[in-house]
Amino acid sequence: MVSASGHEAVRQCDALTGQLYSDHADYLFRPYLGSAHLRAIERVSEWMSDAGMTTRVDAAGNLVGRYGEGAKALIVGSHIDSVRDAGNYDGPLGVMLGIQLCAALNATGRKLPFAIEVYAFGDEEGSRFPAPMLCSRAVAGTLNVAAFDVVDAQGMTLADALTTAGLDVGHFLDAKRDPAGILGYLEAHIEQGPVLEAEDLPLGIVTAIAAQIRYQARVTGVAGHAGTNAMSLRKDALTGAAEMMLAIERIAGAGPSDLVGTVGRLSAAPGAPNVVPGEVVFTIDLRAGTLETLQPAEAAVVSELHAIAARRGLTLQLDCTHQLPPSPCAPAFRAMLSRAVESLGLKARDIVSGAGHDAMIFSPIVPSAMLFIRCKDGISHNPLESVDPDDADLALKAMLAFIDHLEAAYA
């Protein structure tokens, strides 16, 4: 059997790629409940069993591996779904490090006064249904049934997607765990930014995760003949959307550096070279470290977009699809993680996460902490994502030292 290591975690992430584990022939794309996701569950489940864990798939399609016994469990989680044209490590590395953590404990037969449960969440990215972190929200018990009312780009409902995977939307909320049985939540994740690399540090301690809000905008004009409609008489939904996107860029760019705004997806109909576009649908993603920064920016975007639509004679419908407040990590857990990193002779660099994580869902409910791992050139959500396996080894050592502190503090 291969001995537990960060190198092995990186190898496992690399093995979870290619045709079997992607639903797109040309790049890595593993949306929630797609066939690649279901095959990934099988493979990761084997790795969990090899690490001495019992496994199950819960009612929301999360793979759960449990190591050890105890009335309470530390959840070590991250996600195995991916964005479109993804890298290998955003999500899977945290899951594989959780498995390696259990493998390391298992190798010495170490018994803890609490169990460790590694959760491979099924949907964090929201890249299939417009509802990110659906699966961790089910586990935390913070999901509203209205969240089930989503369809994917092919028009398939969440209920039907669950059925194809042998699951039942009527039982989705059964994935909920009683917080009284959760000791806390730990997530390891690549930084997805350039700070650690710039400071020549392999690991960082997340202090808080930025607030985020997403909208779907639907701009409706009038489709018409590209040759006969004089420019001054058009109601072009696409040029209107273009002006809206530039307004979002301007508003976000005028704020503090933690305020960011992105239009990541756009579709224009009917989509022909000789037809003035009649309808455009696009997404808006706004984030900031505090609500004091995010909320005025959101209000400015909403009002500016409506003003542009009115001036151009277009109709604008804005639907909020996702909203999360800023999520501070728990001071006691952060301190234990910092001591764990320092015990390796490393600086425990505090860092704010601009990216969203499943940890955001757990931090209001149980003590939560996040360990960041340096990634090459800060690149993520991109196939060029790269992690030094030696950094992953350090992350595993820090997680083991964190477990020592948690055990010592366990009453």
Q: Which residues bind Mn ion (CB under 5 A)?
A: 90-91
Cis-peptide into 325, omega within 30 deg: no
297 binds ligand GLV (CB under 6 A): no
Nearer to ligand GLV, 308 or 375 (CB): 375
What is the C-alpha separation between 305 and 318, in angstroms, rounded?
A: 9
Q: Rounded to the nearest whole angstrom, what is the least distance from the CB of residue 355 to Mn ion in the complex?
A: 6
State the binding partner of 92 from Mn ion, ligand GLV, none, CB within 5 to 8 A by kind: none
Nearer to Mn ion, 192 or 220 (CB): 192
d(CA 45, CA 334): 29
- Closest by CA to 47, choosing from 25, 74, 80, is 80
Least separation, in Å, of the C-beta of 271 and ligand GLV? 27
Residue 95 beta carbon to ligand GLV: minimum distance, rounded to whole angstroms: 14
Binding letters toward ligand GLV, positions 354-373, x by CB under 6 A: -xx-----------------
State phi, psi for 216 to the nearest 5 degrees: -110, 125
Number of residue whose CB is nearest ligand GLV: 356
Q: Of these partners, Mn ion, ligand GLV, none, which one is at the site of residue 356 (CB under 5 to 8 Å by kind)?
A: ligand GLV
In the bound state with ligand GLV, the residue whose beta carbon lies nearer, of 57 and 355, is: 355
The single-letter DSSP state of residue 247 is: H
Structure tokens at 338: 């910092």
* Residue 91 interacting entry, from Mn ion, ligand GLV, none, C-beta within 5 to 8 Å by type: Mn ion
CB of 106 to ligand GLV, least distance (A): 30
Of 125, 197, 236, 358, the residue at the interface with ligand GLV (CB under 6 A) is 125
C-alpha to C-alpha distances, 113 to 54, 62, 69, 72, 73, nearest whole angstrom: 17, 25, 7, 8, 9
From the list 288, 287, 240, the residue with the least C-alpha distance to 266 is 240
Which of Mn ion, ligand GLV, none does 277 bind, CB closer than 5 to 8 A by kind? none
Residues 6+ apart with CB under 8 A from 197: 191, 374, 375, 376, 377, 378
| Number of other residues whose CB lies within 10 A of the CB of residue 16 | 26
State the residues that interact with ligand GLV by CB under 6 A. 125, 355-356
